[in-house]
Amino acid sequence: MSKPLPNASDFLPGPVLLLGAPGVGKGTQAKHLVDEFGIPQISTGDLLRENRKNHTPLGMMAEELMSKGLFVPDDLVNQMVAGRLKEPDTQHGYILDGFPRTLIQAEWLDSQLVAYLLPVVAVNIVVPIEVLKQRITGRRISPAGRIYNIYTNPPKVEGVCDVDGSKLEQRSDDTEEVFHERMKAFEQKTSAVIEYYRTHGNRFAEVNGDQEIDLVTKDIRATLLKLRHHPEA
Ligand code: AMP
């Protein structure tokens, strides 16, 4: 377990970007940071899935692209993020998970952040591709959002959530075929975003995501304190 903060009020995480390929654990790690720092997770993938569930025009538009592992157009995603960033819970910071994924999104985010009290810090989570493939194609999710993996963390009874007995599902874009498309999109577009943050300013760090979940959280936490020049780092 990570150390509790000495005094939560003297550490303001500000805007945090979790970067990395599909399956590196951005969503899982974002949830841990939400618990620790009390700032919200903003996952563009989750927001888009919510739109799909509610059959909004954006959701219907995104459905086909997402099922093929392709990106939703930048202006639509940017607008969606702009709406979310206007909500008051983002005042002391937030964790962006899955955004920005293209240089256009990164530049747009920069333009939005000019007036913000702190610059973004970017943490790139790195995991070997063969591990990612197993994580993604083996992932099964309960309706309440509990995540299993048929290879590394299977439920006691196949296809059934251990906690509430609900039926586990596979995300339609977690198949092997779509995994390869998602990796292609990542390499073609998002790897440039990682280079953008690596070379712009000194608020970028890399963390090994191929270790126990709690150890990854500990590394990210230490990285955030260091990037924010916190005395506890
Ligand atoms: P995720 O849950 O982050 O893996 O995202 C699932 C899918 O949503 C992606 O494969 C894309 O189709 C779409 N998506 C999520 N975030 C973005 C983004 N920032 N830009 C474009 N498409 C996105």
Q: Is-catalytic flag, 182?
A: yes
Give the whole-angstrom CA distance, residue 96 versus residue 15. Answer: 8
Give the whole-angstrom CA distance, residue 142 versus residue 206. Answer: 30
Tell whether the model's pLDDT for residue 14 goes beyond 90: no
* Tokens 């997770």 sit on residue: 41
Percentage of the residues of the chain whose pLDDT score is greater than 70: 91
* Ligand 1 and 17: CB distance under 6 A: no
Average pLDDT over residues 16-20: 96
Strand partners, 94: 15
Type and span of the H or E element at 148: strand 147-149
Of residues 3 and 138, more confidence is placed in 138
Tell whether the model's pLDDT for residue 209 goes beyond 70: yes
Give the whole-angstrom CA distance, residue 123 versus residue 7. Answer: 23
Local structure of residue 62 (DSSP, 8 states): H
* Ligand 1 and 179: CB distance under 6 A: no
Domains of the chain, by residue range, sit at 14-40+87-129+179-228
Q: Is-catalytic flag, 26?
A: yes
Alpha-carbon distances of 101 from 59, 105, 147, 218, rounded to whole Å:
18, 7, 23, 25
Average pLDDT over residues 56-77: 95
pLDDT value for 175: 95
pLDDT value for 1: 43
14-40+87-129+179-228 — its CATH code? Answer: 3.40.50.300
Structure tokens, 181? 């498309």
Average pLDDT, the chain: 90
Of ligand 1's listed atoms, the one at least distance from the Cα of 46 is 2
Give the whole-angstrom CA distance, residue 45 versus residue 28. Answer: 13
**pLDDT single digits (tens) 174-194:** 999 999 999 999 999 999 999
Best CA proximity match to 6, nearest among 213, 216, 221, 212: 221
Tell whether the model's pLDDT for residue 161 goes beyond 70: yes
Strand partners, 204: 122
* Ligand 1 and 44: CB distance under 6 A: yes
**pLDDT single digits (tens) 137-154:** 999 999 998 989 999 999
**pLDDT single digits (tens) 121-134:** 999 999 999 999 99
pLDDT-based confidence at 7, cuts 50/70/90? very low
Give the whole-angstrom CA distance, residue 110 versus residue 133. Answer: 32
Strand partners, 126: 208
Helix intervals (H) in 68-167: 74-85, 103-113, 129-137
